[in-house]
């Protein structure tokens, strides 16, 4: 009887509330050569009557700290703005937005120093199977799809009347409780549900200053335009920073292992080295076909 009461309480929470948060545990292997070394990121799927937003808890908190620091420096009239990102700021820097009831899907992602809002022109084509089981408190049913170059197996529940899920996944007759790709290197599993107050996203006002390493208002593009920018970045990952450093009176300083670097050539060399190392060690992206 306790389980039944808990279930009705949960359904009441989801149906009556305008804003809900679904908490997923995302386990993934960034490097395809080290598939046994899974990393974990806690992801939020925030839902309101107009749509949903999927993002990293750690990255959101890191961005909030950076923005508060910048606002304080600008309020104090400082001419030079210092930006510091902590190593525990999260590895998932993209966000996924969906609109209801049409479930239009957008990827919000940064390439170098630029941010893009990418309209997704593909939708998961689900095959719903008869297999059922229980995951946690939920009765779930199996479904499969191929999306962006990966084969996925999902388990969804009709006990929660939300036809949504983590990342770009939606379109099943219920909430996705668990989804995993065929290689086992990307897996998202529901770990919590709760009601949240209505929140408004506050845009950082940089007063016209182009501050590196901060999120910019995203430029809306289609998928082919985004892929083109992505390839350009892979070929020249410091193009954006080079443009910033070439501007008159532009001064940038970075800290590498406790050493401050201000010479533009040294900055570009260090950033290019880091970017290429990161691309090499993050070769197992969630989309094999972006």
- State percent of the chain over pLDDT 70: 77
| Interatomic CA distance for residues 19 and 53, integer angstroms | 11
**Predicted local distance difference test score (pLDDT) of residue 101:** 94
Report the candidate in 168, 56, 157 with the shortest Cα–Cα distance to residue 105: 168
Report the candidate in 177, 118, 168 with the shortest Cα–Cα distance to residue 145: 168
Say how many C-beta atoms besides its own lie within 10 A of residue 128's C-beta: 14
Pair of tokens at residue 213: 């390493």
| Interatomic CA distance for residues 177 and 156, integer angstroms | 5
Report the candidate in 199, 210, 214 with the shortest Cα–Cα distance to residue 63: 214
**136's torsion region: left (phi>0), alpha (psi -120 to 50) or beta?**
left
Please report, for the chain, the start and end positions of each structural domain, with discontinuous segments joined by +.
Answer: 2-222
Average pLDDT over all residues of the chain: 84
Least confident of 78-87, 147-156, 256-265: 78-87
Position 240 confidence tier, pLDDT thresholds 50, 70, 90: confident
Q: Which residue has the tokens 């210092």?
A: 82
| Interatomic CA distance for residues 178 and 44, integer angstroms | 14
Q: What is the mean pLDDT of residues 82-98?
A: 73
**Predicted local distance difference test score (pLDDT) of residue 252:** 74
Say how many C-beta atoms besides its own lie within 10 A of residue 66's C-beta: 20
| Interatomic CA distance for residues 267 and 82, integer angstroms | 15
**Predicted local distance difference test score (pLDDT) of residue 244:** 80
Position 12 confidence tier, pLDDT thresholds 50, 70, 90: very low
Position 112 confidence tier, pLDDT thresholds 50, 70, 90: confident
Topology annotation, domain 2-222 = outer membrane lipoprotein receptor (LolB), chain A (2.50.20)
| Interatomic CA distance for residues 108 and 102, integer angstroms | 18
81-85: which pairs have CB atoms within 8 A and are 24 or more residues apart?
Answer: 81/209, 81/211, 83/211, 83/212, 83/213, 83/214, 84/255, 85/213
Instruction: Please state the length of the chain.
Output: 290
Task: Supply the pTM of this predicted model.
Answer: 0.80
Whether the Cβ atoms of residue 167 and residue 96 lie closer than 8 Å to each other: yes
């Amino acid at each position: 009887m306790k389980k039944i009461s808990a279930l009705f309480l949960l359904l009441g929470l989801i149906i009556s509330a305008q804003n809900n948060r679904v908490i997923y545990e995302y386990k993934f292997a960034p490097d395809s050569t080290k598939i046994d070394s899974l990393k974990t990121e806690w992801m939020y799927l925030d839902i309101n009557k107009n749509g949903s937003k999927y993002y990293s808890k750690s990255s959101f908190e890191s961005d909030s700290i950076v923005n508060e620091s910048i606002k304080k420096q600008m309020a104090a009239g400082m001419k030079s703005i210092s930006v510091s990102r902590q190593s525990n700021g999260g590895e998932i820097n993209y966000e996924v937005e969906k609109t209801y009831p049409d479930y239009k899907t957008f990827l919000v992602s940064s390439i170098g120093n630029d941010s893009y809002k990418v309209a997704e022109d593909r939708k998961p084509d689900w095959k719903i199977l008869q297999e059922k089981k229980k995951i946690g408190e939920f009765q779930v049913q199996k479904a499969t799809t191929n999306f962006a170059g990966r084969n996925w197996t999902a388990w969804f529940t009709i006990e929660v009347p939300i036809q949504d899920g983590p990342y770009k996944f939606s379109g099943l007759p219920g909430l996705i409780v668990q989804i995993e790709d065929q290689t086992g290197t990307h897996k998202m599993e529901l770990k919590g549900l709760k009601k949240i107050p209505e929140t408004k996203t506050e845009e950082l006002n940089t007063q016209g200053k182009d501050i590196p390493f901060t999120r910019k208002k995203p430029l809306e593009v289609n998928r082919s335009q985004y892929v083109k920018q992505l390839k350009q970045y892979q070929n020249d990952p410091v193009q954006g920073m080079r443009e910033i450093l070439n501007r008159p009176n532009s001064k940038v300083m970075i800290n590498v292992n406790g050493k401050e670097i201000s010479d533009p050539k040294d900055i570009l060399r260090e950033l290019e080295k880091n970017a290429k190392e990161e691309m090499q060690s993050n070769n197992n992206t969630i989309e094999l076909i972006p």
